[in-house]
């Protein structure tokens, strides 16, 4: 389907539910490339394979709408650290899926990252001490037990969205920058020990991905309008 108009300073956020009947799954699978079929085949559990196929088909459908081509015709390129992008044009995107929800962010020319995580019981502080920066760990330790899960997933999705936007993935040291953590505080990059100018270079925004999920957008520079779309 044709995509809505995307201005130079707009951000479009799409959400999709990753469930499909057998007949729907076959149709979704037909839009994937050979390497995507190979990746889908490596999943041990059928629910993970279904979610991957549905997420990639949704991404292809969304991008195809902006490009005016069929989903199967969308051609991806990959950055030095593996970040996917489009082979041609100024359209920028990023995608994430967790559980049965996918989130896709689209802009023009501005680097963008999104992350969605299904909330679940974890060893929050132990994981934080292993992956997060010291100021973030200290802030998490100060939270009441009831707000600790929200604080943890705030931190996780904000850090993931940022490193995905930068295109570095796991090559970016997570303890070299700080994000806001405490529930109720705005999503933002607070400090970078890699480059102090990064703080003014990036805008963050919490996203609503549905009950039981946390999600964050990170986009280079500011944006004037964010439009939300739900594929259902």
For residue 6, the model assigns a pLDDT of: 95
Q: Are strands 225-230 and 10-17 parallel, antiparallel or unpaired?
A: parallel
CA distance 158 to 161: 5
| Structural domains of the chain, ranges and CATH numbers in brackets | 10-114 (3.90.470.20), 117-222 (3.90.470.20)
Q: Report the residue count for the chain.
A: 232
* Sites in the chain below the pLDDT cut of 70: 170
pLDDT for res 22: 84
- The CA distance from 18 to 29, in Å, is 13
3-58: per-residue pLDDT in tens? 899 999 999 999 999 988 888 888 999 999 999 999 999 999 999 999 999 999 99
The whole-number pLDDT of residue 117 equals 98
User: What is the per-residue pLDDT for 183?
Assistant: 97
- The pLDDT score that the predictor gives to residue 171 is 76
């Amino acid at each position: 389907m044709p995509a809505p108009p995307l201005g130079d300073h707009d951000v479009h956020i799409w959400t999709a539910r990753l469930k499909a009947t057998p007949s729907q799954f076959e149709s979704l699978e037909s839009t994937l490339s050979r390497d995507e079929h190979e990746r889908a085949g490596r999943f041990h559990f059928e629910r993970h394979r279904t979610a991957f196929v549905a997420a990639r088909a949704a991404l292809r459908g969304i991008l195809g709408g902006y490009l005016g081509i069929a989903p199967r015709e969308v051609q991806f390129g990959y950055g030095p650290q593996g970040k996917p992008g489009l082979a041609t044009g100024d359209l920028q995107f990023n995608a994430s899926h967790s559980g049965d929800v996918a989130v896709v962010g689209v802009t023009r020319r501005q680097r963008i990252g999104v992350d969605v995580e299904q909330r679940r019981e974890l060893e929050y502080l132990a994981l934080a001490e292993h992956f997060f920066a010291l100021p973030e760990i200290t802030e998490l330790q100060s939270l009441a037990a009831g707000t600790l899960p929200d604080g943890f997933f705030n931190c996780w999705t904000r850090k993931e969205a940022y490193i995905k936007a930068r295109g570095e993935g796991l090559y970016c040291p997570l303890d070299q920058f700080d994000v806001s953590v405490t529930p109720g505080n705005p999503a933002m990059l607070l400090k970078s020990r890699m480059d102090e100018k990064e703080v003014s270079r990036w805008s963050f925004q919490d996203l609503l991905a549905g009950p039981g999920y946390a999600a964050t957008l990170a986009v280079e520079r500011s944006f004037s309008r964010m439009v939300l779309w739900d594929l259902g």
